[in-house]
Amino acid sequence: MLELVKYISLNYIFYTLAIILFLYLGWKIRKIYKNFIFYLNKRKGIRAEKIAIKILKNNGYKIIKQQPRIKGSLYENDKKILFFVRADLLVSKENTIYVAEVKSGKAASINEIATRRQLLEYSKIFNSNIIILIDTKQNKIKKIQF
């Protein structure tokens, strides 16, 4: 009987350790997968920005700065909260400066709620009524006005 209890205990310990190991490996694989997807999206974004710069230059825009960063603020329960926002490009044409956002595919549509919210945030923080939205799939420059 004692042998049977030892056998069951060892099996229980073995299966518990195996489950813990599989959970740990699954967590690690998931983390590696997420990092890989992030890397692919980052590469895609860099390519899209290069295309957008060509589109803008071909249409008479001058690139002032890539990835301009500006400080924003809001109030939460009367407490001022500071944060930073980074747009894709700061461009100019005919002595007017614009904030430009680069998107491709479905995200380049103002029907996408995330895109609208992002452009509205840029409009507010950069204090600009017109934001440039570059659709790299259709090679279009869209002036979005709030």
- pLDDT band at residue 13, thresholds of 50, 70 and 90? confident
User: How much is the pLDDT for 21?
Assistant: 93
DSSP label at residue 131: E
Q: Please name the CATH architecture into which domain 2-145 falls.
A: 3-Layer(aba) Sandwich (3.40)
Torsions phi, psi for 72 (to 5 deg): -120, 170
Neighbour-count burial for 92-109, b at 16+ CB within 10 Å, e otherwise: eeeeeebbbbbbbeebbe
Residue 18 has pLDDT above 60, yes or no: yes
User: How much is the pLDDT for 23?
Assistant: 93
- Report the first-to-last Cα separation within the chain, whole angstroms: 80
Structure tokens at 8: 């069951």
- Confirm if 145 and 128 have CB atoms less than 8 A apart: no
| Exposure of 111 in the CB half-sphere (CA atoms within 13 A) | 3
Q: Which of 71, 73, 128 is nearest to 99 (CA)?
A: 128
The model's pTM: 0.74
User: How much is the pLDDT for 1?
Assistant: 53
